[in-house]
Amino acid sequence: MTDMLTPTGTAATADVDALEVVRAARRTPQRRYALVIGGLSVALFGAFAARVLLGDYTITVPDFFRILTGTDIPGATYILMESKLPRAVLALLAGVAFGVAGALFQTTLRNPLASPDIIGVSLGASATAVVAIALWGWQGLPVSGVAVLGAISVALVVRLVAGPHGGHRLILVGIGLAAAMQSVIQYVFTRVDEYDAQLVLRWLTGSVNGVAWPTIRLLALVLAVLLPVTWWLCRSLRATELGDDTAAGLGVSRTRSELLLLLGVVLVAVGVAAAGPIAFVSFLAGPIARALNGGRTTILGSALAGALIVVAADYVADYLIPDTNLPVGVVTGAVGAPFLLWLLVRGRTGRRAA
């Protein structure tokens, strides 16, 4: 820094003061960020614990650990290991995947409406997954693979038709494609013999109910690979947020943004392949985390918010109406729809809101 000139006169003292001002001004948002991440983590832990331990069959904490370490408690073991725990873990993982993907989309495209569940990417994954499962009888990894292809195809079509920028055009094209994907899913249900309402709801609105451990393990494995990559790449979002030209001026290539979008697409697709397109989680998580964080984007916060939404919504879905086990997507949809309207009414659909 020696080659840079400093203001004349009381240069030395002015510089020390300036440095102090800069450091102090940087600290305030950092403290808030720490508070947001801490708060969301605690809330998520609480919701997860409640989901696993409470409900119509209570499991005590000592029992929980005994079952986990292999002790067989008749009744409790089955309920925990085959119902409560897989459900809670899938809700957590799917929530993280959707939350991160949504925030990546919204931030990269600088538009809060441009989340994968609004612009048809989630339903694209869902449509291909349901075709593979219901018509071709596929299971496991191939379903995830084909869901990823479906999501990428929809994203590419949106991109080709709407052009490279995240304006209203992209939203309109995406909503159109989302409707088309929904009709594909509905069409598939007219072709399958055993018409199962739970199955329909899973692939239309999403559900974390009745998913086997191998599917969950697969999702966990994919996330364990993709999330660190995302973490490494998403630092450039701080520049991307400033607009295409400014970002390019700061040395962030378009390829990098495209790569982040691709990561978002894959995250959504693997989440959908396991839990269905849980309505509005991608759309809600980013803005909620951002609102808590004083308007500033946080990918980690979005991941935690997404997980919290799905875990909490699934708890509500399970016990809201007695004797009825609602899919989690019904609850998130009921919360998300008013939020979407509110966002539209507020008129913040342009670049400023992102």
Question: In the complex, which residues of this chain contact other proteins (CB under 8 A)?
Answer: 1, 4-7, 14-15, 18-19, 21-26, 28-29, 110, 232, 235-236, 238-239, 241-243, 245-246, 248-253, 290, 293-297, 351-354
Task: Output the smallest distance, CB 253 to other proteins, in A.
Answer: 5
Task: Output the smallest distance, CB 25 to other proteins, in A.
Answer: 4
Which of 33, 319 has the CB closer to other proteins?
33
Which of 4, 224 has the CB closer to other proteins?
4
Q: Give the pair of three-digit tokens for residue 7.
A: 């203001």
- Are 237 and 258 in contact by the 8 Å Cβ rule? The answer is no
Q: What one-letter code names the amino acid at 25?
A: A
Position of tokens 């919290």? 308
Which of 232, 338 has the CB closer to other proteins?
232
Long-range own/partner contacts, residues 77-80 (CB < 8 A, 24 or more apart)? 80/52
Q: What one-letter code names the amino acid at 183?
A: S
Nearest to 307 by CA among 334, 328, 330: 328
Task: Output the smallest distance, CB 297 to other proteins, in A.
Answer: 7
Task: Output the smallest distance, CB 267 to other proteins, in A.
Answer: 21
| CA-to-CA dists, residue 318 to 108, 126, 226, angstroms | 35, 23, 30
Which of 1, 197 has the CB closer to other proteins?
1
- Are 61 and 53 in contact by the 8 Å Cβ rule? The answer is yes
Which of 205, 236 has the CB closer to other proteins?
236
Task: Output the smallest distance, CB 7 to other proteins, in A.
Answer: 6
Greatest pairwise CA separation for the chain in angstroms: 86
Task: Output the smallest distance, CB 257 to other proteins, in A.
Answer: 12
| CA-to-CA dists, residue 187 to 4, 55, 133, 228, 318, angstroms | 67, 36, 14, 38, 28
Task: Output the smallest distance, CB 248 to other proteins, in A.
Answer: 5
Which of 319, 339 has the CB closer to other proteins?
339
Distance between start and end Cα atoms, the chain: 34
Task: Output the smallest distance, CB 238 to other proteins, in A.
Answer: 5
Which of 237, 311 has the CB closer to other proteins?
237
Which of 214, 243 has the CB closer to other proteins?
243
Considering only CA atoms, give the Rg of the chain.
22
For residue 144, what are the contacts with CB-CB under 8 A and spacing of at least 6? 218, 219, 222, 269, 270, 273, 274
Which of 63, 244 has the CB closer to other proteins?
244
Task: Output the smallest distance, CB 115 to other proteins, in A.
Answer: 16
Cα gap 302→304, rounded to integer Å = 5
3-state secondary structure of 6: coil
Position of tokens 């997404």? 306
φ/ψ bin of 172: left (φ > 0), alpha (ψ from -120 to 50), beta (otherwise) = alpha
For residue 101, what are the contacts with CB-CB under 8 A and spacing of at least 6? 115, 116, 263, 264, 265, 267, 268, 271, 282
Task: Output the smallest distance, CB 84 to other proteins, in A.
Answer: 38
Which of 217, 254 has the CB closer to other proteins?
254
